[in-house]
Amino acid sequence: MSDTQSVVDPKLLAILRCPVAVHYRDKGDDPGKLELVKGCWLVSADSGYKYPIRNGLPIMLISEGEKWKDVAADDLPVPPPAE
Amino acid sequence: MTRNSKAQSQERFNQYAQGYVTSKTHAKGGELERLVAIADPQPAWVTLDIATGGGHTALRFAPHVAHVTASDIAPNMLEAAREFITGQGMTNVDFQLADAEQLPFEDSRFDLVTCRIAPHHFPDAGRFVAEAARVLKPGALLLVQDQVAPEDHVAKCYTNTFEQLRDPSHNQVFTQAEWVAMFQSAGLTVTHTEQLVKRHDLLHWAHMQGCTPFDVEQLQVLLQVAPPLAAEWLQSEHAGTPEASFANHHLIIAGRKGGIRTE
């Protein structure tokens, strides 16, 4: 888990947004911010979408984020399962 | 267009990823230098390379800027690009899986967005241009190189059919006028256009996408029976033989987002 986290560039994490929520117009000036959870998930509080980081690559596809929408952040598996 | 065509691109480029890292067409130095000259990248810039493929464009820009973000929709392609670029000693490039039409970035983030030899695979190229414009800073540049179609409608349909036979994930090649319209619709002012002619050996070109002998036979026939304006565009030589070759045409188009540039 810590290995996965360490290979994702913090500069990249700072600019990534949920590709769904970034278009929201009712969530303030900077919608779609992501929180790093368990070192290998990027979670959007605005949309509920959750994006896995696999082998150091954030998987920022809406289809992937949507799969985990109804899973509580605490219940996200570590490491994220392979596709 | 459907999700299936995106899935098709993912599947095919996952399958043929390494071929694109070693592809002469995609690695061609002169064309990449031309893109660098047009963009005039600055050391403080943060740039995005969409559909990075083998990573050649990201690698070429990386020494000129502070940081490059490289994205692609195919995981194997992105892994191959990461291995290639980090193997070249570059430490200012990061990677993430993303859809060119649904970019996972905040608005007005990048000083330059590049996309080379990829939009003809996108189900909705207009949406890609709009998303690229969204993530550009005011005054920043979108720089695209892709195949371009002849303006004649029949010749355009014919060349698209020819390309789709070789690669079913090929969606559509647009004319220069269509590209200019997409840029303008996204609020970009077109600052540069130029066209290039690239010759391809038919067998090598077909092999890159794993064509069967039957596919190749059909491609050979299509080259031989092309209607006049399509034939003029394709400039085929030795059609029907193992030495068959043809030309396709590329457009380089750059457009600037409105507003005042801030560093």
Tell me if A9 and B94 make a contact (CB, 8 A cut-off): yes
d(CA B63, CA B30): 16
Residue A3 and residue A47: Cα distance in Å, rounded? Answer: 27
CA dist., res. B33 & res. B199, Å (int): 19
Instruction: Please indicate if any CB of chain A lies within 8 Å of the CB of B189.
Output: no
Q: What is the dihedral of CA B180, B185, B189, B194, to 10 degrees?
A: -10
| B106 to A60: CB separation less than 8 angstroms, yes or no | no
pLDDT at residue B108, rounded to an integer: 96
The first and second tokens of residue B24, run together, are 């002469």
CA dist B220 and B156 (Å) reads 18
Q: For the whole model, what pTM was predicted?
A: 0.89
Domain architecture of chain B: domains with CATH: 3-149+169-198+248-257 (3.40.50.150)
**Interface pTM (ipTM) of the complex?**
0.92
Q: Which residue has the tokens 């999700």?
A: B3
pLDDT tens per residue, chain B (263 residues)? 344 566 766 666 666 666 656 665 556 668 899 999 999 999 999 999 999 999 999 999 999 999 999 999 999 999 999 999 999 999 999 999 999 999 999 999 999 999 999 999 999 999 999 999 999 999 999 999 999 999 999 999 999 999 999 888 889 999 999 999 999 999 999 999 999 999 999 999 998 888 999 999 999 999 999 999 999 999 999 999 999 999 999 999 999 999 776 65
Give yes or no for a contact between A50 and A65, defined as CB atoms under 8 angstroms apart.
Answer: yes
Residue found under tokens 């003809």: B120
The answer to whether residue A11 neighbours chain B at the CB level (below 8 Å) is yes
Backbone angles phi, psi at B101, to 5 degrees: -95, -5
Using a CB-CB distance cutoff of 8 angstroms, which residues of chain B are in contact with residue A54? 75
- For residue B176 the two structure tokens come to 């220069």
Please answer yes or no on whether A16 and B94 come within 8 Å at the CB atom.
no
- What pLDDT does residue B1 have? 38
Identity of residue A67: K
- A52 and chain B in contact, CB less than 8 A: no
- CA-nearest of A24, A71, A26 to A51 is A71
Domain residue ranges of chain A, discontinuous segments joined by +: 10-75
Of B73, B94, B107, the CB nearest to A12: B94
Which pLDDT does position B21 carry in this prediction? 62
> Strand, coil or helix: what is A7?
coil
Q: Provide the pLDDT for residue B5.
A: 62
Q: What is the mean pLDDT of residues A8-17?
A: 87
**Amino acid B23: pLDDT:** 62
- B97 vs A11, A12, A61: nearest CB: A61
Return the pLDDT at B263.
57
Residue A13 pLDDT: 87
Q: Give the pair of three-digit tokens for residue B180.
A: 């200019």
